[in-house]
Amino acid sequence: MTAIKLAINGAHGRMGSLACASLASEPDFDVVAKLGRMDDLGHALAQHRPEVVLELTNAHAVRSNAQAIVESGCRAVVGASGLRDPDLDELRRLVQAHGASMLVVPNFSLSAALMLRFSELAARYLPHAEIIELHHAQKLDSPSATALATADAIAAARGMPETEAQSQELSTLPNARGANRRGVRIHSVRLPGLLAHQEVLLSGPAEWLTVRSDVLDRTAYAQGIMLACRAVMNLRGLHVGLAQLL
């Protein structure tokens, strides 16, 4: 089997360092470039000619980096967090314009991907759901992209409309009931000592179900990174999340 030629952009950050260490021991990957902020991405891709670029910088850099990647003819796995719907719409237009392949992965945790799939299944039978997502204090975006994707999956599975009817609840403090995403409430917690956790509470008449994912160390993301880099070789267009790959 021919190894996949891979470039890692953002190789010197926490996720990039993890990716470099994890992929180095895998025989089906050949890491041909480890790039940082001082490197010219377009020039490096022309020089090393990877098949896949693992983009692990940040949401602010994704737009320009994604353009350089697709213009070079490479497939992209984008692991930057904090991308919102307008960002994804722009990436989708870029990918379509170049006939490219891109997999956007807000969360490389396999347990988080399974949690989303299990919640989607449960939502067909349990009509009420709320999400509690807990992350480290340095996380910049709230709610997390995983929480938003989970809410979207739940709403689609149970046939909820895009907007919810005006609630009769009375909140004594603003946003006491959390954010509302397509009728699914999301509560965000940011505290020192946490890493990445999400709990989905689903209920029906006289019963309830809890689905939870806990990432205790970033090494948990290694398997998801490898899954994404292998899968993008067989994808066309823009795809979001690991759940569809399971």
Report the distance separating Cα 184 and Cα 204, nearest Å.
15
Q: Are residues 68 and 122 in the same domain?
A: no
Flag whether pLDDT at 166 surpasses 60: no
Convert the pLDDT of each residue in 70-88 to its tens digit: 999 999 999 987 788 899 9
- Model pTM score: 0.90
Q: Are residues 68 and 164 in the same domain?
A: no
Whether 98 is a known active-site residue: answer: no
Flag whether pLDDT at 9 surpasses 60: yes
Task: Number of helices (H) and strands (E) in the chain: give both, helices first.
Answer: 7, 11
What is the phi/psi pair of residue 211, to 5°? -120, 125
Catalytic residue among 5, 12, 128, 139: 139
- Cβ neighbour number for residue 93 with a 10 Å cutoff: 11
Q: Are residues 94 and 27 in the same domain?
A: yes
Q: Are residues 97 and 31 in the same domain?
A: yes
Q: Are residues 225 and 184 in the same domain?
A: no
Q: Are residues 53 and 93 in the same domain?
A: yes
Flag whether pLDDT at 1 surpasses 60: yes
- Cβ neighbour number for residue 71 with a 10 Å cutoff: 14
Q: Are residues 15 and 80 in the same domain?
A: yes
Convert the pLDDT of each residue in 171-225 to its tens digit: 788 889 999 999 999 999 999 999 999 999 999 999 999 999 999 999 999 999 9
Convert the pLDDT of each residue in 107-138 to its tens digit: 999 999 999 999 999 999 999 999 999 999 99
Query: What CATH number is given to the structural domain containing 189?
Result: 3.30.360.10
Tally the domains of the chain. Answer: 2
Whether 136 is a known active-site residue: answer: no
Tokens of 151: 């809410």
pLDDT at 85: 87
Flag whether pLDDT at 164 surpasses 70: no
DSSP structural state of residue 169 = -
Q: Are residues 91 and 52 in the same domain?
A: yes
Query: What CATH number is given to the structural domain containing 60?
Result: 3.40.50.720
Q: Are residues 237 and 156 in the same domain?
A: no
- Cβ neighbour number for residue 185 with a 10 Å cutoff: 18
Domain range spanning residue 61?
Answer: 4-104+219-245
Which range is least confidently modeled, 27-36, 142-151, 152-161, 195-204? 152-161
pLDDT at 81: 76
Question: Where does the pLDDT of residue 140 fall: very low under 50, low under 70, confident under 90, or very high at 90 and above?
Answer: confident
Catalytic residue among 135, 187, 197, 239: 135
Q: Which residues sit opposite 188 in a β-bridge?
A: 133
Q: Are residues 83 and 115 in the same domain?
A: no
Query: How confident is the model over 23-37, as a mean pLDDT?
Result: 94
Q: Are residues 168 and 199 in the same domain?
A: yes
Q: Are residues 122 and 208 in the same domain?
A: yes
